Amino acid sequence: MDEFALIRHYFGALTAARSDVVLGIGDDCALLRPTPGSELAVTADTLVAGRHFPVDTAPFDIGWKALAVNLSDLAAMAASPQWFLLALTLPAADSVWLAAFAAGLRTLADQFGVALIGGDTTRGPLSITITAFGSAPAGTALRRSGARPGDLVCVTGTLGDAALGLQLRGAVVVPTEADDDERFLQARLDRPSPRLQGGLALRGLASAAIDLSDGLAGDLGHILTASGVGADLNAALLPMSAAFARVHVPAQRLQLQAAGGDDYELCCCLPPAQLAAAQTRLDLPLTVIGEINAKPGLRWHDTRAGAPAPVLHGYRHFYENDG
């Protein structure tokens, strides 16, 4: 098989049957039937080796993560995922690498019923750009700009796991030597779960939402700016996984949970009257961590007895998410 036959071979299996795909891979464009009465939500994110994932990341996980970070953007808008395009730049067409990469993509794509509809493959330094498409009934998509004073600031799941997993990566020489906590934290870094059910559950309830890719402080900052409001957050309330609680160094907690990045949880703002409904509808924990108010800026507090005032430093990953 030549290089492009190889690629067709591995990615052909990703073209799930969907009645809204009129024409998939193999022509100049894909042809799609948009959902009547809906708005189309589209997003594109690029992952560059060594920047958005460690260079030793398994190809299965690279495929998974490249799609996951895009589906996470659809989740944040409360859009139902439909299709994706893959633009893959590879140093060489290696069939072992391609098979594992495609399997990672396919596993996640199948979980949410999204179909690969086209894209491009080219030779060059490893980089993956995925464009993901979804739909939301007109007027229902969640935006960053709707937060209002009095809204509760909430996050899904737990924060800081991926950042701690990245910090540990150097210490974990052979995966089989890692213990369960380390494996959990690595998986949170390498195979994030896009919170699509969470986004849909928040539709009609949340006033604003964003997905957490760069870290809570920076991403919530986008909501505050877009909405023209501020927030007071309680560092003591940031939700920790059991593994994070056992493994982390307490002095690093706030940095990891609020500025570490790669959480791919949702942060939303909710009028207090909607909290119970949101928590009932969501299939994962939704934790209140603070409140929106009219004074611009993000202020950190810590309600634990004797806790020092929390200070967030300008800490960044060795790589950073740009989008």
Binding interface with its own copies (CB under 8 A) = 4, 22-23, 26-34, 36, 39-46, 48, 51-52, 73-74, 76-77, 79, 85, 87, 89, 117-125, 127, 129, 131, 133-134, 136, 138, 141, 143-145, 209-211, 226, 322-323
Angle at 170 between CA 164 and CA 173, to 5 degrees: 120
- Select 128 or 256, whichever has its Cβ closest to its own copies: 128
Backbone φ/ψ region at 34: left (φ over 0), alpha (ψ -120 to 50), beta:
beta
* Cα distance between residue 233 and residue 154, in whole Å: 10
Q: How far is the CB of 50 from its own copies (least distance, A)?
A: 8
Q: How far is the CB of 27 from its own copies (least distance, A)?
A: 5
- Select 44 or 103, whichever has its Cβ closest to its own copies: 44
- Select 125 or 285, whichever has its Cβ closest to its own copies: 125
Q: How far is the CB of 26 from its own copies (least distance, A)?
A: 7
User: DSSP assignment, residue 130?
Assistant: E
Contact 266, 155 (CB under 8 A): yes
Q: How far is the CB of 98 from its own copies (least distance, A)?
A: 14
Contact 156, 285 (CB under 8 A): yes
* Joined tokens for residue 33: 């039937």
* Cα distance between residue 9 and residue 175, in whole Å: 30
Q: How far is the CB of 2 from its own copies (least distance, A)?
A: 12
- Select 77 or 155, whichever has its Cβ closest to its own copies: 77
- Select 144 or 169, whichever has its Cβ closest to its own copies: 144
E strand residue ranges, 272-317: 286-293, 297-301
Q: How far is the CB of 16 from its own copies (least distance, A)?
A: 16
* Cα distance between residue 127 and residue 180, in whole Å: 31
DSSP annotation string for 239-265 = ---HHHHHHS-GGGHHHHHHHS-----
Q: How far is the CB of 51 from its own copies (least distance, A)?
A: 6
- Select 75 or 233, whichever has its Cβ closest to its own copies: 75
Q: How far is CA 275 from each of CA 7, 72, 79, 201, rounded to the nearest angstrom?
A: 47, 22, 20, 11
- Select 178 or 266, whichever has its Cβ closest to its own copies: 266
